[in-house]
Amino acid sequence: MTGIEWTEATWNPVTGCDRVSAGCDHCYALTMAKRLKAMGAEKYQNDGDPRTSGPGFGVTMHPAALEIPRRWRTPKVVFVNSMSDLFHARVPESFITEVFEVIDSTPQHTYQVLTKRALRACRLADRLAWPPNLWMGVSVEDQNTLDRARHLLEIPAAVRFLSCEPLLGSVDLSAVANNGTGGIGWVIAGGESGPAARPIRPEWARALRDQCGAAGIPFFFKQWGGRTPKQNGRHLDGVIWNQYPVRQR
């Protein structure tokens, strides 16, 4: 298990990132990279800009890691770049293309790519070949970041999803959920966890659940958050929301 509820494996052909919005304030990967650097982990020796990144968290490509999914014998749901953002400006387009080629050539696995750089993903979309086993998601933590969903809708991915986690404010999906182009295929929501977790309000989670219900979008409520991810469980009004998109393969 990876500790991430909705996936079965992580794959990090890139590590390192820079904070771009309020959702990044308590970035787990940034904290983790610092620890991994101190432990001497090979992939985490490049430092990032101290203002936006940190020790061990400089954006670094790992070509050797490209082969890893080919070695997995059992089919997996793979979260790509849990320790980075594939569409960070410093990840060359040629490397993103290589990542996509690995995804395409391992159709036994389903890959989830999640970005906060939706504009770059959208700008590159026409130049990339989108494999049918790639689910593309953007983080939307509040109404201000909903633009990312608009960019997502221009990307021809097999499944397009929103990760509303950590949810920091209410999100009204009406501007993007029913645009008639196939729209959003999945919404994940959850609160923040960790020592300084910012609390999620139940009405924000309920509103997302209800909007998804009305639009026929599968909804997954991951956790309330708190000091630890499990502290407050994951029941929303007594129900565990574990819906997934219909698998394409």
Contact residues: ligand SF4, CB under 6 A: 17, 19-20, 24, 27, 29-30, 84-85, 116
CA-based end-to-end distance of the chain: 22
Closer of 27 and 212 to ligand SF4 (Cβ) = 27
Which residue carries 């983790």 as its tokens? 32
Report the nearest approach of ligand SF4 to the CB of residue 16 (Å).
8
Closer of 15 and 211 to ligand SF4 (Cβ) = 15
Report the nearest approach of ligand SF4 to the CB of residue 165 (Å).
10
Report the nearest approach of ligand SF4 to the CB of residue 79 (Å).
12
Closer of 114 and 212 to ligand SF4 (Cβ) = 114
Report the nearest approach of ligand SF4 to the CB of residue 82 (Å).
8
Report the nearest approach of ligand SF4 to the CB of residue 100 (Å).
19
Q: Which residues contact 71 (CB under 8 A, 6 or more apart)?
A: none
Task: Report yes or no: 151 and 136 within 8 Å, Cβ to Cβ.
Answer: no
Closer of 47 and 104 to ligand SF4 (Cβ) = 47
Distance between CA atoms of 57 and 37, rounded to whole angstroms?
Answer: 9
Distance between CA atoms of 137 and 161, rounded to whole angstroms?
Answer: 4
Report the nearest approach of ligand SF4 to the CB of residue 71 (Å).
25
**Cα-based distances in Å from 210 to 56, 173, 174, 213, 236:** 41, 11, 12, 5, 12
Diameter over CA atoms, the chain? 50
Q: What Rg value do the Cα atoms of the chain yield, rounded?
A: 17
Distance between CA atoms of 237 and 160, rounded to whole angstroms?
Answer: 26
Closer of 99 and 212 to ligand SF4 (Cβ) = 99
Distance between CA atoms of 246 and 132, rounded to whole angstroms?
Answer: 13
Closer of 44 and 209 to ligand SF4 (Cβ) = 44
